[in-house]
Amino acid sequence: MKKYSIVLFDLDGTLSDPKVGITKSVQYALQKIGIVEENLNKLETFIGPPLQVSFREIYGLDDVQIQQAIAYYRERFIQIGMYENKLYQNISSLLEYFRKEGYQLAIATSKPTVFAEKILQYFNLEDFFDLVAGSNLDGTRSAKGEVIAYVREHFGEVNIDQFIMIGDRKYDIVGARENQMDSIGVTYGYGSLDELSDVQATYIVNSVNELQEIFNRLG
């Protein structure tokens, strides 16, 4: 019997590298509300957390400004940004491995579900996943712990020790722990080894190939 049977994946920074699309869409939103940010690298911190959290914590926006900034962000992201994106190497073969081995797969992202679905379709990955769970467009269910809880509920009576969450940021690991779920932190995304170690990921890997190796070892 496999140690795990249901594998949850974060999307941004775990399956694909969305840096160009996200940072340019954030830059566009900031410019529209009067903030000029030339350094796209500084905006990498927006990859992972809910947008409202990042706009508040990094730029000190109030609730009204946040809603306006998110609206501007989506204006560009829907048209251009979600497609300024690329899969990490060997992701398709990893997902094929999971399917061949009989795992059930889910997306657990803070990105709105409708955008996550479109991105998976763009990469022709939608058929690998039994569930795509993200936030709602109104900003609710945006915390990673809430998204993971929703995935748990979807799979009904499956024991929690059969689930594992894979992600690149502390939010993924903390959200998994809030749901008593094991986790794998990946350092090839946007979270550092220190970040993932500090929040006590169950396992930490440095590449997509190492992800498959972990599951091979666990049986």
Active-site annotation holds for 138: no
Quick one: CA dihedral 61, 63, 68, 73, positive or negative? positive
Of 10, 12, 17, 168, catalytic: 10
DSSP β-bridge partners for residue 132: 107
In this structure, what is the dihedral angle of CA atoms 47, 49, 52, 57, given to the nearest 10 degrees?
-90
Retrieve residue 77's tokens. Answer: 């992201």
The answer to whether 149 touches 168, Cβ cutoff 8 Å, is no
- Active-site residues, by number, are 10
